[in-house]
Amino acid sequence: MSDRWTVVVACVTAIGAWLLLPLPRWCAVVLALAVVVTRAPWLLALTAFVWASSSGAMAMHALHAEPRLGAFEGVATLMNDPVPLLYGARVDVRIGGRRYEAFVDRSMQRALVTHLMGQRMVVRGAFEPRPDNAPWLDARHIAGRLAIDDIVQWRAANHWYGFANEVRGALAGGARALPYEQRPLYTGLVFGDDRAQSALLADDFRAGGLGHLLAVSGQNVAFVLAAAGPLLRRVPHRIRLPATLFVLVIFVLVTRAEPSVLRAAVMAAVATAAASAGRTAPGVRVLALAVTVLLCADPLLVRSVGFQLSAAASLGILLGSRRVAAALRGPAVLREALGVTIAAQLAVAPISVVTFGGVPLASIPANLLALPAAGPVMVWGLTGGVVAGALGGPVGGPIATLLQLPTRALLWWITTLAGYAGRAPLGTLRVPHVVVLVVGLTLFWLISAGRASLVRTVADGPAIARVLRRGSIALMAVALLSPLFAARHPAPAAELVARGVWLWRRDAVVVELDGTAGSVDALRELRDRDVGAIDVLVIRTTSSSAAVVARDLRARYHPRVIWAPVRHQIRGASAPRLGERLAVGELMLDVLEVDDRVRVRVSAL
What pLDDT sits at residue 449? 65
* CA gap 63, 6 in Å, rounded: 31
φ, ψ of residue 129 to 5 degrees: the values are -65, 155
**Is pLDDT of 231 > 80?**
yes
Best-predicted range by mean pLDDT among 425-429, 462-466, 534-538?
A: 534-538
Q: Give whole-number Cα distances, 568 to 85, 361, 515, 523, 595, in Å.
A: 21, 40, 13, 22, 10
548 with 569, same domain: the answer is yes
Report percent pLDDT > 90 for the chain.
Answer: 43
385 with 269, same domain: the answer is yes
Q: Are 92 and 121 in contact (CB under 8 A)?
A: no
Of 225-239, 277-291, 457-471, the range with the lowest mean pLDDT is 457-471
pLDDT single digits (tens) 493-507: 678 888 999 999 988
Please indicate, yes or no, if residue 422 is contained in any of the structural domains.
no
What pLDDT sits at residue 461? 57
What pLDDT sits at residue 334? 80
What pLDDT sits at residue 61? 92
Averaged pLDDT for residues 22-42:
90
101 with 58, same domain: the answer is no
Please indicate, yes or no, if residue 424 is contained in any of the structural domains.
no
Averaged pLDDT for residues 265-293:
88
For 237-241, which contacts have Cβ atoms below 8 Å and span 24 or more sequence positions?
A: 237/276, 240/276, 241/272, 241/273, 241/276
Averaged pLDDT for residues 266-288:
86
Domain boundary (105, 132, 157) is at 157
**Is pLDDT of 486 > 70?**
no
108 with 186, same domain: the answer is no
**Higher pLDDT, residue 406 or 479:** 406
pLDDT single digits (tens) 565-588: 988 888 888 999 999 999 998 899
What pLDDT sits at residue 488? 60
Please indicate, yes or no, if residue 475 is contained in any of the structural domains.
yes
**Higher pLDDT, residue 502 or 453:** 502
232 with 195, same domain: the answer is yes
| Strands 88-95 and 70-78, bridge-based pairing | antiparallel
**474 pLDDT band (50/70/90 cuts)?**
confident
Of 218-227, 361-370, 397-406, the range with the lowest mean pLDDT is 218-227
Please indicate, yes or no, if residue 277 is contained in any of the structural domains.
yes
What pLDDT sits at residue 536? 95
Report percent pLDDT > 70 for the chain.
Answer: 96
192 with 288, same domain: the answer is yes
What pLDDT sits at residue 407? 93
Please indicate, yes or no, if residue 314 is contained in any of the structural domains.
yes
**Is pLDDT of 451 > 60?**
no
* CA gap 346, 438 in Å, rounded: 9
What pLDDT sits at residue 553? 94
Q: What residues make up the domain containing 259?
A: 166-417
**528 pLDDT band (50/70/90 cuts)?**
confident
**Higher pLDDT, residue 486 or 290:** 290
Q: Are 385 and 405 in contact (CB under 8 A)?
A: no
Of 168-177, 438-447, 450-459, 539-548, the range with the lowest mean pLDDT is 450-459
φ, ψ of residue 23 to 5 degrees: the values are -85, 150
**Whose CA is closest to 265, among 313, 232, 304, 222?**
222
* CA gap 342, 371 in Å, rounded: 13
What pLDDT sits at residue 363? 86
What pLDDT sits at residue 460? 58
Residue 111: CATH number of its domain? 2.40.50.140
Mean pLDDT of the chain: 87
DSSP letters for 1-68? --HHHHHHHHHHHHHHHHH-----HHHHHHHHHHHHHH--HHHHHHHHHHHHHHHHHHHHHHHTSSPP
What pLDDT sits at residue 295? 95
54 with 103, same domain: the answer is no
Averaged pLDDT for residues 430-449:
80
Output the CA torsion sign for 375, 377, 381, 385. Answer: positive
pLDDT single digits (tens) 61-118: 999 888 889 999 999 999 999 999 888 999 999 998 899 999 999 999 999 999 999 9
What pLDDT sits at residue 219? 79
149 with 172, same domain: the answer is no
80 with 40, same domain: the answer is no
274 with 198, same domain: the answer is yes
What pLDDT sits at residue 361? 85
**462 pLDDT band (50/70/90 cuts)?**
low
In the sheet that 536-539 helps form, which strands lie side by side, from edge to edge? 493-498, 501-505, 509-513, 536-539, 561-563
Please indicate, yes or no, if residue 546 is contained in any of the structural domains.
yes
CB-based burial label for 76 (10 Å; 0-12, 13-18, 19+): buried
What pLDDT sits at residue 456? 52
Please indicate, yes or no, if residue 229 is contained in any of the structural domains.
yes
**Whose CA is closest to 449, among 472, 429, 431, 432?**
472
230 SS3 class: helix
What pLDDT sits at residue 213? 86
Region label for 579, one of left (φ > 0), alpha (ψ between -120 and 50) or beta (otherwise):
left
**Is pLDDT of 489 > 70?**
no
Averaged pLDDT for residues 155-161:
92
DSSP letters for 426-445? --EE-HHHHHHHHHHHHHHH
Domain boundary (101, 135, 157) is at 157
Averaged pLDDT for residues 514-535:
90
Number of domains present in the structure of the chain: 5
Q: Are 551 and 566 in contact (CB under 8 A)?
A: no
Q: Tell how far CA 42 is from the center of its chain.
A: 34
Please indicate, yes or no, if residue 532 is contained in any of the structural domains.
yes
Domain boundary (395, 417, 439) is at 417
43 with 82, same domain: the answer is no
Residue 532: CATH number of its domain? 3.60.15.10
CB atoms within 10 A of CB 473: 15
φ, ψ of residue 118 to 5 degrees: the values are 95, -25
164 SS3 class: helix
33 with 84, same domain: the answer is no
What pLDDT sits at residue 98? 92
